[in-house]
Chains A and B, each alone.
Chain A
Amino acid sequence: MSTQPDIETLAGAPAPVRKRGFGRKGRDNRRFPLFLVPVLIFYLLFFGYPLIRIFWQSVTDMGGTYTLDGYRMFFEEPAYWAVLGYTGLLGLITLTITLVAGYTVAYWLVRLEKTWAVILMAFVLIPFWSSGLVRTYAWLVILGRQGVLNTFLLDFGLIDTPIAFIGTNTAVVFALAYYLLPYMILSIYSVMNGIDRNLLLAARNLGASPFRAFRHVFFPLTRPGILAGSYMVFMLGIGMYITPAMLGGPNQTTLPLVIAIQINEAMDWTFAATLSVILLLVTGLMQLGANRFLDFERLWGGAR
């Protein structure tokens, strides 16, 4: 066993294991596994029904009569369009930042000596493994009015009054990118790690400059990692609730935030359901698009 770091394993997604060439396919049981029946009942009740219920709730009022008020409210009020736009924009900006930063770090790590790469990988994995709430709270501690950063700047006389970081777009974008960066690094790194270095040597041998070898050989091979990482970051980004709720202000309202407000404060189930359906449609469309060029078999641990 080499000391090669197996990032997919560390990140919890074991690398797909090649099946043994043992004529396994012919031996697969062709009956429907009956022990799946309770499993399916569980999924029907705790996953299927809630999703159907959201659709149904979005077209009925609290009394149970059919209504399209939820959708009318959404389409007639430009403020909600703005929320949808802001959510998508936040997702895209986060994606861009994590892609640039993540590719850089992954590229650097993959070229390092393996021992160093394993040690430095802890800097990615420890945040990846800790609670999102804790990590967001940490930014509150750092960026708050009496936070670490302001105290530091005041102590050194760089500013006279504390800067209000919380409630700005910058804080939300930064914290969101911070939260999602490990996903991107791990996706790209695991693909880069699997690339045969001899291909690059061959390109150099044939007279390609380092840049040309990178551009025409290495980079295209990292595409699956880029796609998988981008997909995850964007999907998770537009569904995030904690970060904008904790670090944003009234101008950083995202779709998940409005949904929570409708349930907890406005008690408007119909509208909450409508907004959930819209978020579901956005992610569903993304999923369809992603299916076309993403190898989910690989992404999801090689389960065939």
Chain B
Amino acid sequence: MTRRVNPGSLVLASVSILILLILIAPIVIIFLVSFTPTEMLHFPPPGFSLRWYEAYFSDPKWMTATRVSFVVAALTALFSLVIGFAISLALVRYRFFGKAGLRMLVMSPMILPKIIIAVGLYFLYVKLRILGTTGALVMAHSIIAIPYVVMIITASLYSFDRRLEWAARSLGASPLRAVWLITIPNLKPAILGGGLFAFVASFDDIILSLFLTKLTEPTLPRQIWVNVQQTIDPTIAAVSTFMTVVSVLGLWLVALAQRGLKKG
């Protein structure tokens, strides 16, 4: 039995598949190119070799940048979680003057051109003489990471059954103790998800790093940026693949955590 094929559907399907292939192509190409044994970027690569990964992992410059990126991203995740949790709690549980304004303030870095935040912070950091310090970059990354944390935690707080907390209160727990022992453990998937999101937001950032780090201690994206200006050597493809794996893995875990949250 043959189904009648609608020419309209056929066009829709082929155009969509083509677009989806274009979306994934660059990532696949970078992935494959990173295993080339040649000095040049060959596609498809004429063989298989891990030399560019070796070049990446044995170069102190790349390793410094990798370390900086991981440290900054981890600190950003921690700091954003603390601030983001407080904001989420205030937004969901309290009614006060200026609440709408607070939400606007916290969420606006998501859509504000990042370069504006970078320029403003650059002026501030030069004045405070903290340009290029780890702490200063963590604060900057937190500004852009907190919106994600707040989005995930508020959603989870709304669906949290507060009767659990009231039960704890009625059994004699202080408000703070009830939050610590009941609310926070129950929000674990959201907290984990928010933290991972903040980590990736910091790990992937280039604009703020470009303005606010020292050249001697760049983040991974900034080191890529510097190298791209000089050569297109396959080491960058290896580093890029590494970065992609870290981000995709991180956000895939977020999705898993969120799904667990819904089921639980």
Q: Residues on A close to B: CB < 8 A?
A: 1, 6, 9-10, 12-20, 22, 24, 27-33, 35-36, 38-39, 42-43, 45-47, 49-51, 53-54, 57, 101, 104-105, 107-109, 120, 123-127, 129-135, 137-142, 144, 146-148, 151-152, 178, 181-182, 232, 235-236, 238-239, 241-242, 246, 256, 259-260, 263, 269, 272-273, 276, 279-280, 283, 287, 300-304
Contacts and interface: CB of A to CB of B under 8 A. Distances in A.
A134 B94 contact: no
Contacts of A27: 162
If over half of A's interface residues share one DSSP class (helix, strand or loop), that class is named, otherwise mixed; here it is helix
Nearest to B241: A134
B158 A17 contact: yes
A141 B42 CA distance: 10
A50 B41 contact: no
B90 interface: yes
B1 interface: no
Q: Which 3 A-B pairs have the closest CB atoms?
A: A50-B120, A239-B113, A138-B26
A144 B232 CA distance: 9
A140 B228 contact: yes
Contacts of B248: 126, 129-130
19 contacts: A33-B89, A39-B90, A43-B105, A50-B123, A130-B27, A134-B240, A138-B29, A141-B237, A142-B29, A151-B42, A178-B22, A238-B113, A239-B116, A260-B211, A283-B111, A287-B111, A302-B154, A302-B155, A303-B92
Interface in B4-32: 12-13, 15-16, 19-27, 29-30
Contacts of A13: 151
A54 B123 contact: yes
B26 A39 contact: no
B93 A28 contact: yes
Interface stretch (B47-55, B59-67, B250-258): B250-258
A135 B142 CA distance: 23
B119 A36 contact: no
A242 B113 CA distance: 12
B225 interface: yes
B93 A272 contact: no
If over half of B's interface residues share one DSSP class (helix, strand or loop), that class is named, otherwise mixed; here it is helix
Contacts of A9: 255, 258-259, 262
Contact of A29 (B93, B155, B228): B93
Nearest to B139: A46
A124 B22 CA distance: 10
A29 B29 CA distance: 54
Contact of B155 (A17, A53, A260): A17
Contacts of B258: 6, 9-10, 14
Interface string B76-93: 000000010011111111
Contact of A39 (B83, B154, B197, B232): B83
Contacts of B221: 131, 133
B115 A239 contact: yes
Given A302-B154, A303-B91, A32 B97 contact: yes
A279 B111 CA distance: 12
B224 interface: yes
B121 interface: yes
B228 A20 contact: no
Contacts of B40: 146
Given A17-B159, A138-B27, A46 B143 contact: yes
B240 to A, nearest CB: 4
Contact of A303 (B150, B210, B240): B150
A70 to B, nearest CB: 13
B68 interface: no
A54 B120 CA distance: 6
B189 to A, nearest CB: 11
B161 A133 contact: no
A104 B89 contact: no
Contact of A259 (B43, B119, B147, B243): B119
A122 B43 CA distance: 23
A293 to B, nearest CB: 16
B186 interface: no
A133 B220 CA distance: 10
Contacts of A16: 155, 158
A279 to B, nearest CB: 6
B224 A126 contact: no
Contacts of A17: 155-156, 158-159
B112 interface: yes
A182 B148 contact: no
A109 B19 CA distance: 12
Interface in B88-112: 88-97, 102-103, 105-107, 109, 111-112
A270 to B, nearest CB: 11
A134 B243 contact: yes
Nearest to B163: A22
A137 B236 contact: yes
Given A28-B94, A283-B111, A146 B151 contact: no
A38 B263 CA distance: 35
Given A12-B251, A108-B13, A138-B30, A30 B95 contact: yes
A35 B90 contact: yes
